[in-house]
A and B are shown apart, each in its own frame.
Chain A
Amino acid sequence: MLRRLGIRREPAKTDAVTYDDSYYMASQWQLIWRKFRRHRLAIGSLAVILILYSMALFSEFYSINDYQKRHVKFAKSPPHTIYFVDEEGNFSLRPFIYQMKQTLDMDTLQRNYSEVRDKRFPIQFFVQGEPYKILGLVESNIHLMGVEAPGVFFPFGTDDLGRDLFSRTMHAARISLSIGFLGVIISFVLGCLFGGISGYFGGLVDLVIQRLIEFLISIPSIPLIIALAAALPAEWSSTQVYFGITIVLATVGWTTLARAVRGKLLELREADFVMAARISNMGDLDIIIKHLLPSFASFLIVVLSLSVPGMILAETALSFLQIGIRPPAVSWGVLLQDAQNIRSLSQSPWLLIPGLFVIVTVLAFNFLGDGLRDAADPYKQ
């Protein structure tokens, strides 16, 4: 029976691991880093997140074409297949593509694409292309990938207007990823303010703020966000809309953070080590700086990294519903607008690719947050 249920009867774990002196000498952050390093999934996620954010920072470098340029001859082109082996079975280490030729089906008026197999277009790396400015400062014209001049390269295909989806996805990372970060920071400030006030004063103030938070949590967030986002004036510029949306997301999202901050503050205030420090006549300021802040900081990093995905998902949903970021500005949600109905989906399923980036980002932040939480927990080995 036991075996069938598969419940393991393990003896309570005894800490048999022995540590050398460096373990006992290490600071809190060194210990966290050591534990974090062993968490392979979290390390991998951190790498993925760094790559994604580098896309946001250097999207011009990553993009192959100008993200707003319309390649009229290649509207709704499917992604180019990348080959390593050609028709005759010759292997080449350098990947290559074939160009596409468009034919119009006269019955359905649909564009069909077929590969022209007579000439190979090898993919070149770090090629010179359209000039741009790195971070708006340094001029450059180096791009990550590209093919020779008459050829075009669309790794993710193109949209209705013939714009390169790959380059658009790279540029969209800028808004999608930064809005998550900025939104979390704003809601964090709000959360700390209200959570801090609530935890510090206690009593009636605490009661009122806690009830207010409960009330806000009980309102379904998406209808509320939609209503607030729809109130942004139509004549606002892209930048204004961007900040408007960020503030809307933050005003709805701060409640959970405020709760977490208050809970942690109350817990820390009563912690034994704080009591011990107080007994040994340590000053209040010293206690705050040397004891409270470090324990609080590790907690904060965890909470923040776990809050970013919610913001990114909310922005994507808003833009998808056409009340978030407005074109010509692009975010992943804006790109997904093109994939809204079954007709465009069945004709060009590759329009869903930006959604893949959303999923990967959210997954990576979740794994990173989990890893950080385990690493920051001093009682977990």
Chain B
Amino acid sequence: MRSYVLQRLVYMVFLLWLVSIVTFIIIQLPPGDYLSTYISRLEQAGQVLADEEVAALREQYGLNLPMYARYFKWFGQMLQGNFGYSYNWEKPVRDLIGERLALTFTIAILSAIFTYSVAIPIGIYSATRQYSIADYVISFVGFIGLAIPNFMLALILMYVAWAHYGLNLTGLFSPEFQGAPWSLAKLGDLAIHLPIPVIVVGTAGTAGLVRVMRGTLLDELNKQYVITARSKGVGEVTLLFKYPVRVALNPIVSSLAWLFPSLISGGTITAYVLGLPTAGPMLLRSLLTQDTFLTASLLMFVTILTVIGTTVSDILLVVVDPRIRMERAAS
């Protein structure tokens, strides 16, 4: 068990290193480099740089170095906690991304909790009442949930709240708390605003998981051990929760590995529509304005958070499922 966790953690570090390479390649893709963007900005502001100054800047940013050397320079700076400077916000990247990443992660985790706490009971209910009206309604709503794009759900909720209740659902904080330092009152304000994004982000995953839960539980309910237990007089509720439900939970737990990336993904667009101060909208803006260092750091950290989430879910799966534990121990 311990060796498996260790192995997983080493693998995770390797993945994180791969992430840094992919991120570096992606930020090199757009035509032009950040220096030319920077210079054109300065020129727009009426400042003209002499050729020597440009050359000095190229030297400073290491743009005259070959690609791999630039990568190591950038990576080394990252390791030292220097993420560069954002031209848009005119602030060091490090000061910009912390809170946004924390909020992104919070929304993803809460959405995961929401997804599981809704999907598992509904899945069990649906499977134990197969072909009932409730089962059909659940399946139908689930299909709609799968088919509706995240951002449309957000738009529709926003519209309904606005048209019928006069509520403005955008943002994560009321105006008076925006940019205010953290306090208990601000935390309370956040708690009021969180449910809508959490529901919107969680819906697509919930619909999928209900289907998985229902399917596996139905398979389990038809197995012989259930009949045996029943013939021995085990109560129906005890029987249900002691054996089939526990087996049916396994694919649900292993789904965390793909659920987490998809929650971060879904959160990106939802956050844009709802105007949330998370990493997604900032990433979009920084991409469109070629704010290179900010883009790189955001992309990097969003992926790092996801990789960590996936690793944790993998380890969790081994803790939950003894069969996998044995298999891994054997190999």
1/0 per residue, CB under 8 A from B, across A324-360: the answer is 0000000000001001101001100100100100111
A33 to B293, CA, bound (A): 56
Q: Are B155 and A226 in contact (CB under 8 A)?
A: no
- Across-interface contacts of B163 in A (CB, < 8 A): 346, 349
Identify the closest chain A residue to B151 (Cβ). A320
Q: Are A355 and B152 in contact (CB under 8 A)?
A: yes
Q: Are A6 and B129 in contact (CB under 8 A)?
A: yes
Q: Are B146 and A222 in contact (CB under 8 A)?
A: no
Q: Are B156 and A352 in contact (CB under 8 A)?
A: yes
1/0 per residue, CB under 8 A from A, across B153-173: the answer is 001101100110000101000
Q: Are B236 and A358 in contact (CB under 8 A)?
A: no
Q: Are B146 and A366 in contact (CB under 8 A)?
A: yes
B77 beta carbon closer than 8 Å to chain A? no
Interface residues of B in 41-89 (CB under 8 A from A): none
A303 to B320, CA, bound (A): 30
B191 beta carbon closer than 8 Å to chain A? no
Q: Are B269 and A222 in contact (CB under 8 A)?
A: yes
1/0 per residue, CB under 8 A from B, across A213-251: the answer is 001011111111011101101000000000000000000
A313 to B235, CA, bound (A): 46
1/0 per residue, CB under 8 A from A, across B126-152: the answer is 001110100000000001101111111
Contact of B269 among A231, A309, A317 (CB under 8 A): A317
Among A309, A321, A367, max chain B CB count under 10 A is at A321
Q: Are B236 and A1 in contact (CB under 8 A)?
A: yes
A104 beta carbon closer than 8 Å to chain B? no
Q: Are A7 and B287 in contact (CB under 8 A)?
A: no
- Across-interface contacts of A228 in B (CB, < 8 A): 26, 29
A148 to B109, CA, bound (A): 57
Looking at chain A's contact residues, is the secondary structure mostly helix, strand, loop, or mixed? helix
Rounded to whole Å, the gap between the CB of A256 and the closest CB of chain B is 9
Identify the closest chain A residue to B258 (Cβ). A217
In which size bucket is the chain A interface?
A: 35 or more
Rounded to whole Å, the gap between the CB of B212 and the closest CB of chain A is 14
Q: Are A317 and B22 in contact (CB under 8 A)?
A: no
B20 beta carbon closer than 8 Å to chain A? no
Rounded to whole Å, the gap between the CB of A353 and the closest CB of chain B is 11
B299 beta carbon closer than 8 Å to chain A? yes
Contact of A320 among B18, B158, B269 (CB under 8 A): B269
A223 to B132, CA, bound (A): 41
Given contacts A342-B168, A355-B152, contact A221 B162 (CB under 8 A): no
Contact of A339 among B146, B155, B221, B303 (CB under 8 A): B155
- Across-interface contacts of A1 in B (CB, < 8 A): 235-237
Among B19, B27, B155, max chain A CB count under 10 A is at B155
1/0 per residue, CB under 8 A from B, across A356-375: the answer is 00111011001100000000
Rounded to whole Å, the gap between the CB of A325 and the closest CB of chain B is 15
Given contacts A6-B128, A220-B302, A359-B144, contact A231 B30 (CB under 8 A): yes
- Across-interface contacts of A209 in B (CB, < 8 A): none
A325 to B155, CA, bound (A): 20
Given contacts A7-B128, A227-B26, A342-B168, contact A2 B151 (CB under 8 A): no
1/0 per residue, CB under 8 A from A, across B220-261: the answer is 011000000010000111001000000000000000011001
Contact of A223 among B168, B280, B288 (CB under 8 A): B280
Contact of A220 among B128, B146, B162, B262 (CB under 8 A): B262
Q: Are A7 and B236 in contact (CB under 8 A)?
A: yes
A218 to B307, CA, bound (A): 6
- Across-interface contacts of B143 in A (CB, < 8 A): 363, 366-367
- Across-interface contacts of B155 in A (CB, < 8 A): 339-340, 345, 352, 355
Q: Are B283 and A226 in contact (CB under 8 A)?
A: yes
A149 beta carbon closer than 8 Å to chain B? no
Rounded to whole Å, the gap between the CB of A167 and the closest CB of chain B is 21
A313 to B306, CA, bound (A): 22
Given contacts A223-B264, A233-B31, contact A345 B236 (CB under 8 A): no
Contact of B149 among A230, A346, A355 (CB under 8 A): A355
Identify the closest chain A residue to B287 (Cβ). A230
- Across-interface contacts of B39 in A (CB, < 8 A): none
Among B22, B230, B264, B284, max chain A CB count under 10 A is at B284
- Across-interface contacts of B222 in A (CB, < 8 A): 12
- Across-interface contacts of B303 in A (CB, < 8 A): 218-220, 223
A59 beta carbon closer than 8 Å to chain B? no
Q: Are A321 and B168 in contact (CB under 8 A)?
A: no
Rounded to whole Å, the gap between the CB of A350 and the closest CB of chain B is 11
Q: Are A346 and B15 in contact (CB under 8 A)?
A: no
B268 beta carbon closer than 8 Å to chain A? yes
Instruction: List 22 A-B residue pairs with CB atoms under 8 Å apart, sorted by A's residue number.
Output: A1-B235, A5-B128, A7-B128, A7-B236, A217-B258, A218-B306, A220-B261, A220-B264, A220-B268, A222-B269, A223-B280, A223-B302, A317-B151, A323-B287, A323-B288, A340-B273, A346-B159, A349-B163, A352-B159, A358-B149, A360-B147, A363-B143
Q: 4 closest A-B pairs (Cβ-Cβ)?
A: A222-B265, A231-B29, A362-B147, A230-B287
